[in-house]
Structure 1
Amino acid sequence: MEVFLTSTVTVTLAEIGDKTQFLSLLLAARFHNKIALIIGILAATIINHALSAWLGDWLSGNFTTHYMPLIVNISFIVVGFWLLIPDKDEEVTQKYDHFGAFLVTFVLFFIAEIGDKTQIATILLGAQYQSVFWVTLGTTAGMLIANVPVIYAGNTLLKKIPLSKVRVIAASVFVLLGIYGLIAL
C-alpha cells in the first residue's frame, strides 16, 4: 500500500501545473465528451506509466545495487528542482478533430508524457520500489486525480489555485523524498 500511496501522491503533485494538465484544459474546451477525455487519459497513462515503471524496475535490477539507491535519490532531488520550472502549454490543432475526443486525447497525452516530469518520476518510483503493478496503478491514479477536476472545472480551478505555490510544494515533496532516501542509506 505504501508503494501505491507514494506513487499516487508524488505524481498528483508533480502533475499540478504540468503541460499535460494544461492539455486537459485545452481538450476539455474543445471536446464536450468528458468521459472520452478521461478514458483517453487513462489509457495513455496506463501504457506510458507501465512502460516507465517497468524501465525503472529493469534499471534497478540490472545495475549495481550499491549505486542504484544513490542515483534514484539524487534523481528525486533533481526532479524536485525541475518541478519549479513551469511547462509551456500544449497546442491542440484542428487537424485531429475528426478522430474524436478519445483518440485525440490518447495520442496527445501519450506523446506529451514522453520525457515529462511525471514519466521520469514513474521511472524513479519503479526503480525505487521494483513494483511495476503498484507504481503504475498509483501513478495512473495520480494523473487522474490531477486531471479529471481540470476537465470538469478547469477554468474555475486555475483561477483559484496559485500554481507557483503548488509547484513549490510538489518540488519540496520530491526533494524531501530524495533527502530522506539519502539519509536512509
Structure 2
Amino acid sequence: MISLSYFFTVLLTFFVAEMGDKTQLMLFALTSKYKIRSIVLGTAAAILVINGISVCAGGLLNEFLKSHLWIVKLIATAAFFYFSATSLIKNEDEEGVGESKISFASLAVFCIFFIAELGDKTQLSAITFGATNGLNPALFFVWLASSIGFFAADIIGLVLAFILHGKTPDRFFKLLAFAVFAVFGFVNLYEVLLDLNAQLLLLPIMAGSAFLFTGICAIIILRNRKLH
C-alpha cells in the first residue's frame, strides 16, 4: 500500500509530463478523423494497457526499449505518415458511418496512441515508478495514479478540440491533423537515423522521404478533386 501523498505525486507527475506532449497534440488532431467517443475509448484503453505493461515490466522493459528504441520509432514514423496522408482523404460516405465503425475507430486510436507512446517520457516514468516499488500490491496504485494523470491531461486537449470544432471549419482540423502527423513522422525518422548512426545518409533519406510523401499527398489531392 502506498501513501495518499505518493499517489498524488505520481498522478501530478504524469499530468505535468503529458501536458504539451506529442500524444496530446495527436489526440487534438485526431478529432478531424474520429468522433470524441471513439477517441476517448481508444485513448483510455491504450493508457491503461501501456501503463500496466510499464509499471509491471519495470527496469527489464526499460533495458529492452533502450536497445530497440529505433524499431519502435520506425513503426511510429510509418503510423504518423499514414495518419497524415489519410487526413487529406475526402470520403463520399463520411456522413452516418461513425456509429457503425465505432469499434474500428476506437481500435485505430488505440493502436496509434499505443505505438506513439512507446519509449516516450511518460512511459519511461511509469517504468521508473514500477521499478522503484517492485512487484507488490503497490503497483496497482502506481498504475491507477499514472493512468488518471495521463488521461486527465489528454482530456484537456480533447475538450479544447471539441469546443473549437463548433467554431472552426472541419477543413482547418484536417489540415492541422495533416501538419501535426507529418511533423511527428519526420521528427521520428530523423531520430531513427541518429540512433542508427546514419548521419551520412541523413540528408538523402530525409529528402527522399519528403519527396515520396509529397507525391503521395499530391495523388490524394488529385483524387479529391476528381471526386468533387
Matching residue within 34, 59, 72 for 2:36:
34
User: What code does the residue aligned with 1:152 have?
Assistant: V
Contact 1:28 1:152 in 2 (8 A): no
Matched, 1:146 2:153: yes
SS in 2 for 1:29: coil
- Determine the C-alpha separation between the residues in 2 that align with 1:43 and 1:155: 20
Deviation per CA, 1:124-163: give whole Å up to 9, x if none.
1112233321111111111111111211213879xxxxxx
Deviation, 1:105, is 0.8
**2: CA distance, partners of 1:117 / 1:145:** 17
1:54 aligns with 2:61: no
The answer as to whether partners of 1:57 and 1:132 remain within 8 angstroms in 2 is: no
Residue matched to 1:165 = none
Partners of 1:7 and 1:34 lie apart in 2 by 27
List aligned pairs for 1:22-101, cutoff 5 A: 22-31=25-34, 33-56=35-58, 90=80, 92-93=83-84, 94=86, 100-101=104-105
Give 1:123's match in structure 2, choosing from 115, 124, 127: 127
Paired AA for residue 23 in structure 2: T
* TM-score of the two chains, using structure 1 as the length reference: 0.59
Confirm or deny: 8 A CA contact 1:122 1:139 kept in the other structure. Answer: yes
Count matched residues: 126
Structure 2 gaps of 5+ residues are 62-76, 88-97, 165-228
Give percent identity, aligned residues only: 31
Written as runs of structure 1 = structure 2, the 5 A alignment for 1:129-168 is: 129-130=133-134, 131-154=138-161
Aligned mates of 2:30, 2:104 — CA distance in 1: 11
Query: Would you say 1:105 and 2:109 are equivalent positions?
Result: yes
Letter in 2 for 1:150: G
Q: Deviations along 1:7-51, whole A, 9 cap, x unmatched? A: 2111110001111111111112222x2122111111111111111
Counterpart amino acid of residue 17 in structure 1? G
> TM-score, normalising length from structure 2?
0.49
- Counterpart in 2 of 1:71? none
- Bigger relative CO (Cα 8 Å, ≥ 6 apart): 1
- Aligned-partner Cα distance in 2 for 1:117–1:54: 17
Larger Rg: 2
Q: Which runs of no fewer than 5 residues in structure 1 stay unpaired?
A: 60-87, 158-185
